[in-house]
């Protein structure tokens, strides 16, 4: 066994920063999510909106990557990406997705399962794109996301070409770039507890209402 493997096999961290009890639980999952998101922001958790987006392709092969949540309300979660990316191609074949937030500073995790219900409106996608820094706008135009490149130089050339193209004009949102909406149908709120006896409370949308259950850790 390598020294690295020996080291990670010996790592032991206990959890003691909180508890999640039914008596303190919001009865609507989107409100519970908003409460925990606010507490993460107030605690200055690093990269609060960062989450893992998992997708599955037509061959039932999963893939996952870190994205940023940009908006949420009424159990809908928005993120933005290239419509030709690997995640986008997966979504075309299988709209079921999962988001996972992990905030180690609070010893909390949230899993959200749902279905891609559609694209963000053009107005929303335009508004978000227009709020991005200039170089991020150029980057959206310059990256053939998930495609194979000959090298970094090829990408750099795309960037330089687009900087020249748009040096004296507004940069429009590419037609191949915009937002997706995830409609949640399942949440799991996880709070680390001592001796690995964690709190896990789920909300599952069944028969037009949210069913709340506690899971064994």
| C-alpha dist (Å) from residue 213 to 21, 68, 72, 131, 171 | 11, 28, 23, 40, 48
Question: Residue 52, SS3?
Answer: strand
Burial class (CB in 10 A: 0-12, 13-18, 19+), 101: buried
86 is catalytic: no
Of the residues 12, 196, 200, 214, which is catalytic?
A: 196
Helices (H), ranges, the chain: 3-10, 29-42, 86-93, 122-131, 134-142, 152-165
DSSP 117-157: EEEPPHHHHHHHHHHS-HHHHHHHHH--TTS--S-HHHHHH
170 neighbors 92 (Cβ within 8 angstroms): no
**CB atoms near residue 199 (< 10 Å):** 20
> What residues form DSSP beta bridges with 63?
55
> Cα–Cα distance between 133 and 6 in angstroms, integer?
44
Residue 48 tokens read as 């609060």
Would you please indicate which residues are annotated as catalytic (active-site) residues? Answer: 196
């Amino acid at each position: 066994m390598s020294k690295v493997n020996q080291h990670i096999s010996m790592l032991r961290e206990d959890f003691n920063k909180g508890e999640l009890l039914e008596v303190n639980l919001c009865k609507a999952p989107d409100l519970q999510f908003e409460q925990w998101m606010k507490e993460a922001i107030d605690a200055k958790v690093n990269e609060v909106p960062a989450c893992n987006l998992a997708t599955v392709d037509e061959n039932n092969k999963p893939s996952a990557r870190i994205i940023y949540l940009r908006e949420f309300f009424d159990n809908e979660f928005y993120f933005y990406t290239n419509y030709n990316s690997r995640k986008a191609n997966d979504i075309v074949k299988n709209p079921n997705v999962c988001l996972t937030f992990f905030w180690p500073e609070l010893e909390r995790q949230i899993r959200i399962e749902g279905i891609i219900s559609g694209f963000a409106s053009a107005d929303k996608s335009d508004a978000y794109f227009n709020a991005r820094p200039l170089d991020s706008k150029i980057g959206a135009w310059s990256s053939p996301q998930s495609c194979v490149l000959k090298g970094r130089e090829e990408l750099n050339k795309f960037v330089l070409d687009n900087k020249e193209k748009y040096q004296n004009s507004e940069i429009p949102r590419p037609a191949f770039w915009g937002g997706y909406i995830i409609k949640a149908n399942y949440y799991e709120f996880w709070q680390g507890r001592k001796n690995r006896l964690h709190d896990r409370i789920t909300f599952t949308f069944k028969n037009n209402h949210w069913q709340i259950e506690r899971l064994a850790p």
